[in-house]
Amino acid sequence: MLQLTRDGEYAVRAILHLSSQPVGQVSLVNEIAEAQDVPKSYLSKIMQHLVKSGLVKSRRGAKGGFTLAIPAEQITLRETIEAIEGPIHLNVCLVKKGECYRDALCPVHPVWREAQSKLIAVLDSKTMADLVKDGEGLQRTAHKTEAKKVKGE
């Protein structure tokens, strides 16, 4: 099964959290962990990888914590995933030309290539700022639905 690892999922949640904060606001790892329902010790390791990738900045000291290193409008979902998971490849034959000796003979190879291309395009089309906005819309809709249930509508 093709599946994002837990590390990748938690990285997306962390970047989304930082993207939802006012520009320059520092977030503590325990705040992010609590808000995103991620174990703090696990998240600490992920945050260090995100710092090394250049997506996140960390500050030490009494006013330390984490902020985005670049604007949320410039961070794609793909970049966030690849910062933790590495390059996305749907099959080993797509890692590089010649990785699979059956490249030229395999009728499925072009399908894998097309599927990967479309997946990459979708992940590149959404920035963290887009996803924060989408999440706010979902929350508003959920609140309206809940209010209707309470009123008995």
Looking at domain 6-151, does it have CATH number 1.10.10.10? yes
Query: 33 or 95: which carries more pLDDT confidence?
Result: 33
Mean pLDDT for the stretch of residues 63-73: 93
pLDDT tens per residue, range 44-67: 999 999 999 999 999 888 778 999
3-state secondary structure the chain: CCCCCHHHHHHHHHHHHHHCCCCCCCECHHHHHHHHCCCHHHHHHHHHHHHHHCCEEEECCCCCEEEECCCHHHCEHHHHHHHHHCCCCCCHHHCCCCCCCCCCCCCCHHHHHHHHHHHHHHHHHCEHHHHHHHHHHHHHHHHHHHHHHHHCC
pLDDT tens, position by position, 8-38: 999 999 999 999 999 989 999 999 999 999 9
Structural domain boundaries of the chain?
6-151
